[in-house]
Structure 1
């Protein structure tokens, strides 16, 4: 689904495909250019400057959920929201 400047994709994936998507996101943040494509829909994003990063992980009765959220404003430099550090290990 793509409407204007919105892109949405939902599916079930195996761990290998998820790792590939996450590597592509990491490469996009590194290069400053992320392109999302599905059929005839495309959205290009340019993460520059500071990026707001939210991680939410849940384990409720054996049902696991991980939400990652990234946000930024184009063309602005912002101060970091916090100096708190996060550790993620595989």
Structure 2
């Protein structure tokens, strides 16, 4: 039985560190198991099947933001698909 839980983390990091973290996330997605942890807690997720990807980006008054969200359901019908975005 899988247990429910939450993991949240926010900190200042270099581009190099964030790139390494994103690479770890892609590896975890590839193998179907993501474990996220810091000094406050940990969670393990098991992504499988079709996943929903949401990408948002904005620039306003000198502040920039990029949000990446990947969601899936452990036991529901697959989500509707739009196709892959183009990123360069």
TM over 0.5: yes
Q: TM-score range by the shorter chain?
A: 0.7 to 0.9
Give the Cα separation in 1 of the matches to 2:76 and 2:63.
Answer: 39
Q: CA RMSD in A?
A: 1.6
- Which stretches in structure 2 are left out of the alignment for 5+ residues? none
- CA shift, 1:38, in A, is 1.0
- Which stretches in structure 1 are left out of the alignment for 5+ residues? none
- CA shift, 1:77, in A, is 4.8
Query: How many positions carry a matched residue from both structures?
Result: 85
What is the TM-score of this pair, normalised by structure 1?
Answer: 0.85
- CA shift, 1:75, in A, is 3.5
- CA shift, 1:74, in A, is 0.9
What is the TM-score of this pair, normalised by structure 2?
Answer: 0.87
Matched, 1:82 2:78: no
